Amino acid sequence: MDVLLALVNVVGSVFSLILIHLAFESLWLKLLGRVLAGELRSIAIKLRMTVQALDYPENADESIAVLLERNSPDLIRNRISDFLGSLATGLFWIASAAEVIIFVWISWTCWEEKSLDLVGMWLLPVVQISLVAALSILAISSYLLTGRIPGQARRTRNAALAS
């Protein structure tokens, strides 16, 4: 019975961790899609054309020029967005490292003590929820300060220069 309870703790905590991560990623991708659509609309308005006309090869140079101008690293709002994007990436890696450390620490402790008390595995979803909350607060703050999500200007510049 102890083995079954330990297995439920491990599988349940990892499963909930994956569900939280997938839910956050799907919401983030939806937000990115909306931001991209808004960016395309604003470029189309500035160039006085439709959003569909931006896809035409003859309009590509004008579109990229406007895109690079709007996302220039010289603008303070873009610098703030880039900084907050780096901060968000750092938070993600710190939380990921914390999750790995917690998993290894609890597993090692249970192995050394010959115990099947794996209730501590439920700290993994707590760390993930804390990460989601921190990144959400960061994204909202970034949007209110700059009108951009964290790292949007840098990602846009990189994508425009790659094309």
Nearest to 90 by CA among 135, 130, 124: 135
Q: Does the reported pTM lie above 0.85?
A: no
Question: Rounded to the nearest 5 degrees, what angle is found at the Cα of 81, between the Cα atoms of 135 and 144?
Answer: 70
- Return the pLDDT at 116: 67
Distance separating alpha carbons of residues 159 and 36, to the nearest angstrom: 12
Residue 72: how many CB atoms within 10 A of its CB? 12
Would you say 78 and 155 are in contact if contact means Cβ atoms under 8 Å apart?
no
Mean pLDDT, contiguous 10-residue spans, the chain (163 residues): 78 90 92 87 88 84 87 92 94 93 88 77 90 93 91 88 78
Would you say 145 and 80 are in contact if contact means Cβ atoms under 8 Å apart?
yes
- Return the pLDDT at 4: 82
Residue 122: how many CB atoms within 10 A of its CB? 15
- Return the pLDDT at 7: 81
- Return the pLDDT at 1: 63
For residue 104, the enclosing domain spans 2-162
Would you say 106 and 118 are in contact if contact means Cβ atoms under 8 Å apart?
yes
